[in-house]
Amino acid sequence: MGKIISIANQKGGVGKTTSSVNLSASLAHYGKKVLLVDTDPQGNATSGLGINKGDVDQCIYNILVEDARAKDTLVESDTPNLDVIPATIQLAGAEIELVPTISREIRLKQALDEVRSDYDYIIIDCPPSLGLLTINALTASDTVIIPVQCEYYALEGLSQLLNTIRLVQKHLNKQLMIDGVLLTMLDARTNLGIQVIEEVKKYFQDKVYQAIIPRNVRLGEAPSYGKPIITYDAKSRGAEVYLELAKEVMENDTRVG
Ligand code: ADP
Ligand code: MG
C-alpha cells in the first residue's frame, strides 16, 4: 500500500511545489513507484514536470467535483516511475463548487484509495490556502510535510496550519501525522538563515529534516524547462539535497512500520 504524503503550508512561495516535484522525482530515482497529485489551481507541479496543461483532458477537478476515477486522469511524466494527476485552472472554482456536496472532505481519499496499491508513494502538492482542497489532501494522507522558508517570520502562520491539522485529525483522519518540517531556500551566506534554523528546531525538535534545501539558482530554473532538478542538473546542490530528503522520507517510513 502506498504511503500518501501531503506537502502543505498556506503561505505561498515557501517551496511546496518545488519540494513536491523534486521529492517525487528523487523517490522515483530510487526505484519507487510515485504518483504526484497536483491540487493547486495554478498547476505549477503539472507544468513543472513538463505536462502541457492544454493537452490535459481530465484533471483533479473532475475527480473532486465530478467523481471521475483517478485512473482516468493519470498522466505519465517523462521521469520513469513518476505519474501525475494534473491540475488545470478549471480547479479554481472547485472550492466553491464543493461546498454543498456530500462527503466533500473525503473525495480525494476515496479516489486515491483505488490507485493506492499501484504506488509506493503518493505525494500531494497543496494550494496556498487552508480551504477544502487542502482539507481533502490532509484527509487522504498518512503524513504531512511542512515546508518552512528560511526568512523573517518563518514560524508566522504555522499555528493556523497546525490547528487545521489537529482538526483533520479529530474529525476526518485520526492517523494523520507530521512526517517532518522541511527548511527551504536557505541562504547560507546570512546569519538570518542560521537563526531561523535554530528557531524552527527549537519548536519542532527532531521533526525537522536534516536535509535543508539551499537557495539554488538551478532549482528555480528547472520548472521553466519542465524538468525536475535531477534531470535538469543532476550535479547541482539542489539535486543532491532533494535526494537526501528522499532518503530521510524513506527512513521515516520504515520507522513508522
Ligand atoms: P509554493 O509552491 O509554496 O508556492 P514554490 O515551490 O512554487 O512555492 O516556490 C516559489 C518560487 O521560488 C518558485 O519560483 C520556485 O521556482 C522558487 N524556488 C523554490 N525553491 C527554491 C530554491 N530552493 N532555490 C531557488 N528558488 C526556489
Ligand atoms: Mg505551489
CATH number, domain containing residue 57:
3.40.50.300
Please check whether residue 180 lies inside any domain of the structure.
Answer: yes
| pTM beyond 0.80, yes or no | yes
In whole angstroms, how far apart are CA 245 and each of 77, 167, 170?
21, 28, 29
- pLDDT, mean over the chain: 95
Q: Is the CB of 223 under 6 A from ligand 1?
A: yes
81 part of a folded domain: yes
On whether ipTM exceeds 0.85, the answer is yes
Where residue 154 falls among pLDDT bands split at 50, 70, 90? confident
Total domain count for the chain? 1
Beta bridge partners of 143: 5, 177
Task: In whole angstroms, give the CA distance from residue 93 to residue 2.
Answer: 29
How would residue 142 be classed by pLDDT, with cut points 50, 70 and 90?
Answer: very high
Residue 257 falls within a domain, yes or no? no
- The residue whose CB lies within 8 Å of the most ligand 1 atoms, and thus the one to mutate among 14, 16, 17, 18, is 18
Range of the domain at 160: 3-252
Q: Is 88 a domain residue?
A: yes
- What distances in angstroms separate CA 47 from CA 22, 23, 32, 90, one per listed residue? 13, 16, 22, 15
Q: Would you say residue 22 lies in a domain?
A: yes
Question: Which atom of ligand 1 is found nearest the CA of 11?
Answer: 3
Q: Ligand 2 centroid to 15 CA: how many Å?
A: 7
What is the arithmetic mean of pLDDT over 237-241? 98
Distance, in Å, from the CA atom of 149 to the CA atom of 216, rounded to the nearest integer, reads 13
Return the SS3 of 56: coil
pLDDT level of residue 101 (50, 70, 90 thresholds): confident
| Residue at 223 is within a domain | yes
Cell representation of residue 83: 505519474
Is the distance from the beta carbon of residue 215 to the nearest atom of ligand 1 less than 6 Å?
Answer: yes
Contact between 120 and 6 under an 8 Å Cβ cutoff? The reply is no
* Nearest protein CA to atom 15 of ligand 1, as residue: 220
14 lines ligand 1 (CB under 6 A): yes
Packing angle between helix 132-140 and helix 158-171, nearest 10 degrees? 60
